Structure 1
């Protein structure tokens, strides 16, 4: 059986980018949201901590993407913990370098000029001692992804950053010694949602957020023919900005056709949401609980035979002992995105809690399903699952309220809840 990395991917699915810069450590203080590349950030206030919500980014000490570089994966980082250089200087510019789920690939050569013995990698290598001999790299070619080459094993010390391209000598990637201690690619995490209970999106008729626009906060059966008689009709959707919640866009009216998961972020044109063309005719808000994801896949009809339960991202279902065909799906909890091809590529199918008895139920034309991953809820301090319930003293979410993130043996005697809102968990 081929590994997921060796199998051919289908259509690549991109994700929007987002990071938040904070003036204080611990992602506290005043903040600034960044959605796209910025060539000159030198005039911004000093940054103490950063939360990368989506994508992998590179910070530069000088404008125009020059000078010392720092790679930031999804998650939180304290700039003061990275040494005096980044704790004292500001940010000159920043750029998003990982936008989709393409399988990373790097070829290492024992001689300069891309000659000699070749080692091809698609995943991290913590310690070259696992190879037959120490890893001596005189040249390299990055076919896909962004790679970090470390001088020591287990990703220690300052890495060199290699983007797609050819590197005929170690000096070409900033090293003077051909020895490589370890290396790893930067990858996207799972799709995420920050404000699941506050759905809001703005659709534009032209790319680049131009032309007539329309703000929506509920399901839209047909963007070309709104039912309320007041909202403008859009002949086509050229761009889209999701400000809250998690949405599914559809190629056809009535939530039919190709599906596209829309996280909070900016989509400047159809290629940013992974479409085949600019058609986007209906929108649906995902209102299911995002916590504690679990799904069971069955190869046979009617939930018969062997079933595989999955609770985390799976780039190839065959790695879990499941066949290439899925006849039935039972989503126990959470929200999932299933893909027709390995590596989270090809057609997307958004799966909420419930039973899917055949491929028609999840919107596919056949039973091919090769990978899947959950949609995670962004927590208050990091990217993790959130369990939170909010109780209100009045109906319709009015009056006094109290919130809990853990089990409560009893409620305050004086508080009688009349309505509640579940932000995560069950």
Structure 2
């Protein structure tokens, strides 16, 4: 298995032996570049995908295991349904993917009990409660959810069991947003400055690589550019500027704040290009401070 130490965590999962199974792999991060969709096992990725580098993946249905080498050999990674915008999101240290196969019934011929040796990304969980102080019915979530109206009508308190999340006042990851780390939020609406209860949420995936963020004076990544690789509590002191109209998140996950010292309204930035402040849901171009989202 290649462990340097004893096992420290494990995860159970619900499997199906009947399917369906569907997964899309991409040659670039953030679901860019060539895409191929699979519904069956693939013994050699290079035979189908012109290369062995898979930088992002969207598991639409079923559970899968990715292997670093062809013929289901080498280090392996367990994939649940969800979006993986970069190979580090599924726990890999590089983009090399040699083969993958469906996780079917472990009692059948596809899997033997002793062969299920998969590497799991850290568990993340947020719980939404109907009433304040964690009362009433609740809903557990461990991934992105674009529209929470389908699962509850109201939410008055939230508990983050593990990981980091961003909640949004409107469906589709829009409206006022608020960053949440592990902890209890018995009356989050007042703290977050929301007029309505949470309607969508986004899970912040683990990130083990570097951090790089470029802020631009003008729209469309034009004008003077300032690059950051670490937290900055006061952009005015450092760059003599506080208005940035576009941004390129090259690596890592970040929060940008309207005011210095990590105060005021804030916005979650994933890897990608933001050609206007409106693309990160900002109402203006002001940014007072920036910090990395380390996996807390």
TM-score normalised by structure 2 residue count: 0.56
Larger Rg: 1
- Does residue 207 of structure 2 align to residue 207 of structure 1? no
Question: SS at 1:296's partner residue?
Answer: strand
- Superposed counterparts of 1:142-153, under 5 Å: none
What's the counterpart of residue 40 of structure 2? none
Q: Which secondary structure state, in structure 2, belongs to the residue aligned with residue 318 of structure 1?
A: helix
- CA deviations 1:124-147 (Å, max 9, x no partner) are xxxxxxxxxxxxxxxxxxxxxxxx
For 2:259 and 2:223, locate their aligned partners in 1 and report how far apart those are by CA, in whole Å: 23
Greater share of helix: 2
Q: Cα offset for 1:359?
A: 0.8
Cα contact 2:259–2:287 (8 A) shared by 1: yes
* TM superposition shift of 1:361: 1.2
Q: Identify the match of residue 141 of structure 2 among 216, 220, 228.
A: 216
Moved over 4 A (4+): none
Q: Which residue of 2 aligns with 1:291?
A: 209
Normalised by the length of structure 1, the TM-score is 0.39
Determine whether 1:376 maps to 2:278.
no
2:204 aligned with 1:279:
no
Written as runs of structure 1 = structure 2, the 5 A alignment for 1:88-107 is none
2:231 and 2:173 map into 1 onto residues whose CA distance is 25
Q: Aligned match of 1:253 in 171, 176, 179?
A: 171
3-state secondary structure, aligned to 2:220? helix
Matches within 5 A, 1:173-322: 197-225=122-150, 233-271=151-189, 274-277=192-195, 279-287=197-205, 289=207, 291-322=209-240
Q: Structure 1: 5+ residue runs without aligned partners?
A: 1-194, 226-232, 379-426
Equivalent residue, structure 2, for 1:365: 283
Please give the secondary structure, in 1, of the residue aligned with 2:266.
Answer: strand
- Asked if the contact 2:255–2:293 (Cα under 8 Å) also holds between the matched residues in 1, the reply is yes
Kindly state the Cα deviation for residue 287 of structure 1 after the two structures are TM-superposed.
2.6
State the number of aligned residues: 177
SS state at 2:207 partner? coil
